[in-house]
Amino acid sequence: MAETDQNEIRARIAKGLVYTETEAAFLAPARREDEIFAYNHTPPGDTGRRRSLLTEIFASVGERTVLQAPFHAAFGSNVHIGDDFFGNVNLTFVDDVEIRIGNDVMIAPSVTLTTTGHPVHPARRADFGRFSEPIVIEDKVWIGSNVVVLPGVRIGYGSVIGAGSVVSRDIPPMSVAVGTPCRVVRPITDADLASRA
């Protein structure tokens, strides 16, 4: 594929427009499948090897990162992770475009962060037609078990996403949000300093 064609497809992807598997095939070398497989099969005690693999897999990875195996990623190379990150088992990154995770973020088991969706009409899903929009998770966010974060979402500083939620729109900073679709139920205030929940 000519470089001009690749640039045109990259521009369409960046605008959140539909593109196909065949059109995006030139992006395949950015996938880190072998490295992800190796990470998921590296003993937990081999922290040096695990750290080395994380720096090979992700676009950037901060200090004191804990990522429990197994995890999964479409690419891995489109994920940016800040300092003091904790990701529990079965975290899935559908990172066809960027996922940016800030500092001090905690993610519970079986969470999916998906930058990619598919058109509703079946004719537009031919050749795995899809669209992609970046996800941003700001500093100090906590995401509960079995949450799904959909394309284009930003979760604001300090917010908590309740277990089982489907996050289809932005969540403002310092909010507790739950449900399907996920909605803000209350702000986080200083009163929460004296509370367990």
Mean pLDDT for all residues in the chain = 97
Selection from 90, 93, 91, 59 nearest residue 74 by Cα:
93
Asked if 155 and 165 touch (Cβ cutoff 8 Å), the reply is no
Q: How far is CA 60 from the centre of its chain?
A: 13
* pLDDT over 80 (residue 75): yes
Which pLDDT score, from 0 to 100, does residue 97 have?
98
* pLDDT over 90 (residue 189): yes
Which pLDDT score, from 0 to 100, does residue 2 have?
82
pTM: 0.95
Give the pairing of strands 131-132 and 116-117: antiparallel
For 39-43, what is the mean pLDDT? 97
| Residue entry with tokens 């909605």 | 183
Which residues are annotated as catalytic?
118
For 46-62, what is the mean pLDDT? 97
Asked if 117 and 98 touch (Cβ cutoff 8 Å), the reply is no
Structure tokens at 6: 């690749």
- Over residues 5-22, the pLDDT tens digits come to 999 999 999 999 999 999
Which pLDDT score, from 0 to 100, does residue 196 have?
79
Residue 2 vs residue 182, higher pLDDT: 182
- Could you tell me the CA-to-CA distances from 92 to 36, 72, 185 in Å, in that order? 11, 5, 26
- Over residues 98-124, the pLDDT tens digits come to 999 999 999 999 999 999 999 999 999
For 82-105, what is the mean pLDDT? 98
* Residue type present at position 156: G
Which pLDDT score, from 0 to 100, does residue 195 have?
86
Which pLDDT score, from 0 to 100, does residue 63 have?
97
* pLDDT over 80 (residue 197): no
State the CATH class of domain 3-194: mainly beta
